[in-house]
Structure 1
Amino acid sequence: MEVEGLNTLLLLLPALGWGLLPPVVAKLGGKPSNEILGTALGTLIASVGVFIVLRPQITLQSFLLAAFAGAFWIVGQVGQYHGYQKIGVSQTMPISTGLQLVGTSLIGVFIFGEWSTVVEKAFGALGVLLLIIGIWLTSITDRKQQGKNKQRVNTIIMLILTSAGYWVYNSIPRGLSESGLAIFLPESIGMVLAAVIYILATKQGNVFKEKTSWTNIIGGLIFSFAAVTYILSVKANGVNTAFVVSQVSVVISTLLGMVWMHETKSRRELMYTIMGLVLIVAGAVITTIF
């Protein structure tokens, strides 16, 4: 029973960490370049600590692949950070989460052969369908101004394109034999290198001197808490279960976006958001049980 309780806790902790990350980073402020640099540096600091304590072994090939995965995480996260500024946390997170769920789940089923039995496929598909419907409901908006609608459409297109980074980030570790904690350091090194390349390529070198970049290290530490507990959850509960339940973070981030960030919604929008969040939780539970 104690082991089962610990496994359940491990399922929930990544959702808590990733749910807190968006509003915390948005609250810390700065440009997406400040946020992505701080988050990457905070992750590197945490991963060095994990490496010193555990001293995990890893091959050069796995090290490079993990760094490659970390670099692609930056692609997805830059898209999210731009989304926070364009349409807010409570709008960005449901859309981004939905795209991650669809892409990563399909990769898991068709490439890695997960949900092997007919029953697993049926209930897994039902759970993901409920999640996607719930996420869609939370993204419904009443805004009809042409300028805002155009900005929202452009932001969604940007999120679709950058979510491919998350798909790569989530998929590469499945093909590695080393434990998740062993690849945490190389992933964070890839994140920092990709963040620096992004900043230099977009000619934003001044962000290295700006205070906001360094305060956003807090975001990286929160991400690391979620990432480490997620790695442990994958080992204890399996990839699909751990991944889907971790996406309940969208419930936390959406609610905090409205309450803490004061992102207002009309009565109709709020009603759809609550309905959507209920479906997200239901979908996560169904996918976890089956």
Structure 2
Amino acid sequence: MEGILFALVPMFAWGSIGFVSNKIGGSANQQTFGMTIGSLFFAIIVFIVARPQLSFNLWFFGIIGGILWSLGQNRQFTAMKHMGVSVANPLSSGSQLVFGSLIGAFVFHEWSTSFHYILGGFALLLLVIGFYFSSRVDPVKENKNHLLKHFNKGFVALAFSTFGYLSYAILFNNIMAFDVLSVILPMAVGMIIGSSFFMKFQLDFSPLVLKNSLVGMMWGVGNIFMLLAASSAGLAIAFSFSQIGAIISIIGGIVFLGEKKTKKEITWVIIGILCFLIGAILLGIVKSY
């Protein structure tokens, strides 16, 4: 029970990042830079408390991972500008789940039995169906062509976002496998470097940016509780709950940001949420065997 309670924290913390940051406002570059400031502050606190040993490899690969993460987050914020939080966030989480699972299965041989392929394949199918319904646009909507043009830009941004997120996840989990508490400070430094690059190193400390640093603190808290959930309830529960956080983004985008949906789109979103929920849980089960 304790592990499940721990897992709820990253679910809500990470699921809330998109609509909280967009409620605060700012460009995608300002949002990313502000978020990394908060993440670095949080990482320094963790380092002071935990005192982990930091090797050259940790610093080198941690910084690279942080730069890749900043690419993923920046492009995700960009996609949100074009598609809305309620659409971009579940598509982002879902694409990471699908491609991450496929890479894990066929490149790193994480799926080794027929059970893995049958259940995992069914889970991925549900996620793809969830993609379709969560991003579907009602034909009666005004300016549909204008919306689709923005959606195309959003999909391009999501492609880069998925590449960044998957690259850093594979680097940390499949190639180097660093302890979270040890790598959090080097990664935060890399995140600052990456977000500064997107701003062409013209650093901005305006009120909007500093407010977005609170989002970075949320991300850091989610990271710590993800670790606690994995150690207490197992990686499968922690993994599933963290990805289900995309549902929080859908609800938050509609309720708090006023992203308009027609009755048909609300129905499609509900179908997408159910498919995404079941698919993420099934992938968690596959990872536990």
TM superposition score normalised by structure 1: 0.90
Structure 2 residue aligned with 1:189: 189
Unaligned 5+ runs, structure 1: none
Cα offset, 1:94, TM superposition: 2.0
Larger mean CA deviation between 258-267 and 278-287 belongs to 278-287
Cα offset, 1:247, TM superposition: 1.2
Matched-pair contact (CA < 8 Å) for 2:2–2:232:
no
Query: Per-residue CA shift, 1:59-106, capped at 9, x if unaligned?
Result: 211321121111111111111111222221012112212221122112
Larger mean CA deviation between 213-222 and 151-160 belongs to 151-160
Q: Alpha carbons of 1:154 and 1:126: their partners in 2 closer, same or farther (altered >3 Å)?
A: same
Matched-pair contact (CA < 8 Å) for 1:22–1:253:
yes
- Helix, strand or coil at the partner of 1:216: helix
**2:108 pairs with 106, 112, 126, which one?**
112
Structure 1 residue aligned with 2:27: 31
- Helix, strand or coil at the partner of 2:259: coil
For residues 243-282 of structure 1, the aligned pairs below 5 Å read: 243-282=239-278
Matched-pair contact (CA < 8 Å) for 1:107–1:171:
no
Cα offset, 1:235, TM superposition: 4.5
**1:100 pairs with 96, 109, 118, which one?**
96
CA distance in 2, matches of 1:111, 1:240: 20
Within the alignment, does 1:84 sit opposite 2:75 as a pair?
no
Query: Per-residue CA shift, 1:107-145, capped at 9, x if unaligned?
Result: 222233323322123212222321232232111112453
For residues 1-290 of structure 1, the aligned pairs below 5 Å read: 5-142=1-138, 143=141, 145-174=144-173, 175-200=175-200, 205=202, 208-236=204-232, 242-290=238-286
Matched-pair contact (CA < 8 Å) for 1:44–1:188:
yes
TM superposition score normalised by structure 2: 0.90
Cα offset, 1:12, TM superposition: 2.9
Larger mean CA deviation between 253-262 and 154-163 belongs to 154-163
- Supply the AA of the counterpart residue of 2:152: V
Larger mean CA deviation between 154-163 and 190-199 belongs to 154-163
Larger mean CA deviation between 172-181 and 191-200 belongs to 172-181
CA distance in 2, matches of 1:269, 1:256: 16
Cα offset, 1:274, TM superposition: 0.4
CA distance in 2, matches of 1:8, 1:225: 16
CA distance in 2, matches of 1:237, 1:118: 25
Unaligned 5+ runs, structure 2: none
